[in-house]
């Protein structure tokens, strides 16, 4: 019998803890497929964050390091500088990467560390139960902004891809979504490119994934998908923001 669909070897044979309708599972799979296709699983080290993906170290079937909140890219810097021959990626959410880890994020990009950052932006703190994130949209309700995000006091949501693309150091910075099959297929090409840039020793690469959080958004998975399409994509336009010079 011919196998037409199987779990990538780069993903462990375990069930994840992610909520129904959350797109973390899709993003994990895309990374796993690309690690398989590039044949680098056995020389890859992944860095898990603090947040919903904290247990990613159980889901990827490669060497993994769990880092403290926001420091995944600093840890990745340590690994990559110690062992430039390894393929190193971080997997981080918006609170981890754009709030508590903002300093590390900007500097790792600006140093041009040859790593790949998988950044999952779902506009909310998921693991801690739905608090406001630096990427929460204006008016969007969260447990720490029960009346909706007020830009007068909380500021406007941070567009990480645009912010990092303003740095001069060569980099590959792209924003994608995974809420439709077509978007998933496009995103996979981007993930491949990002890892290829790293393996060629070319540059720092970061992919911002727009992701849903039905649980903390208080929506069904389908509603969440529509909300992402209607609200997130207009504020966070998809596309390549920076390619290496």
Partner 1 sequence: MAKKLMKGCEAIGEAAIQAGCRLFFGYPITPQNEIPEYMAARLPQVGGTFVQAESELAASNMIYGASAAGCRCLTSSSSPGISLMQEAISYMVGSELPAVIVNIMRAGPGLGGILPSQADYRQAVKGGGHGDYRVLVLCPSSVQEAADLVIDAFDLADRYRNPVLVLGDGLIGQMMEPVEFKPRPPVALPPKDWAANGCKGRKPNIINSLYLVPEVCEQVNHRIAARYQVWEEKETRHSGHNLDSKYDLLLVANGSVARVCQTAIDDLKASGVEVGLFRPISLYPFPIKALREAAARAKNVLVVELNMGQMRDDVDSFLQGRVPVHFYGRQGGMMAAPEEVIEQARAILAGRSN
d(CA 5, CA 126): 30
Compute the least distance from the CB of residue 222 to partner 1, in Å.
31
Count of Cβ atoms closer than 10 Å to residue 63 Cβ = 15
Q: Which two structure tokens, joined as six digits, stand for 108?
A: 């790792």
Measured from the CB of residue 147, what is the shortest distance to partner 1 in angstroms?
Answer: 33
Among 43, 188, 208, 50, which Cα is nearest to 123's?
A: 208
Answer yes or no: are the C-beta atoms of 99 and 51 closer than 8 Å.
no
Q: Which residue has the tokens 């669909």?
A: 5
Query: What one-character DSSP code corresponds to residue 158?
Result: P
Closest contact distance (angstroms) between CB of 98 and partner 1 is: 16
Nearer to partner 1, 47 or 187 (CB): 47
Q: How far is the CB of 177 from partner 1 (least distance, A)?
A: 29
Query: To the nearest whole angstrom, how small is the minimum distance from the Cβ of residue 57 to partner 1?
Result: 5
Would you say 55 or 233 has its CB closer to partner 1? 55
**CA–CA gap between residue 235 and residue 6 (Å, rounded):** 36
Closest CB to partner 1 among 50 and 123?
50
Q: Are 38 and 58 in contact (CB under 8 A)?
A: no
The β-bridge relationship of strands 239-242 and 171-177 is: antiparallel
> Which is nearer to partner 1, 36 or 63 (by Cβ)?
63
Closest distance to partner 1 from the beta carbon of 172 (Å): 21
In whole angstroms, give the CA distance from residue 196 to residue 198.
5
User: In the complex, which residues of this chain contact partner 1 (CB under 8 A)?
Assistant: 12, 41-45, 47, 54-55, 57-58, 60-68, 71, 74-83, 86, 103-104, 106-107, 111
Q: Other C-beta atoms within 10 Å of 225: how many?
A: 19
User: Closer CB to partner 1, residue 67 or residue 136?
Assistant: 67
Q: Quote the radius of gyration of the chain (alpha carbons, Å).
A: 17
Closest to partner 1 by CB, 78 or 138: 78
């Amino acid at each position: 019998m011919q196998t037409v669909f199987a779990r990538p070897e780069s993903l462990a044979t375990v069930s994840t803890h992610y909520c129904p309708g959350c797109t973390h599972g899709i993003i994990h799979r895309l990374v796993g497929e690309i690690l398989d296709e590039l044949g680098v699983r056995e020389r890859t080290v992944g860095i898990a964050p603090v947040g919903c993906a904290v247990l990613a170290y159980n889901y990827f079937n490669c060497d993994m390091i769990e880092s403290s909140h926001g420091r995944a890219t600093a840890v990745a810097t340590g690994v990559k500088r110690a062992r430039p021959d390894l393929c190193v990626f971080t997997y981080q959410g918006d609170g981890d990467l754009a709030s508590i880890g903002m300093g590390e994020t900007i500097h790792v990009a600006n140093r041009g560390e040859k790593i790949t950052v998988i950044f999952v932006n779902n506009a909310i703190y998921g693991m801690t139960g739905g608090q406001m994130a630096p990427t929460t949209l204006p008016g969007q309700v969260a447990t720490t902004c029960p009346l909706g995000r007020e830009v007068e006091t909380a500021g406007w949501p941070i567009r990480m891809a645009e912010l990092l693309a303003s740095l001069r150091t060569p980099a590959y910075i792209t924003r994608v979504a995974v809420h439709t099959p077509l978007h998933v297929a496009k995103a996979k090409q981007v993930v491949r490119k990002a890892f290829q840039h790293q393996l060629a020793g070319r540059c720092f690469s970061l992919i911002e994934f727009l992701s849903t959080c039905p649980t903390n958004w208080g929506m069904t998975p389908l509603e969440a998908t529509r909300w992402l399409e209607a609200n997130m994509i207009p504020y966070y336009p998809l596309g390549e923001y920076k390619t290496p010079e």
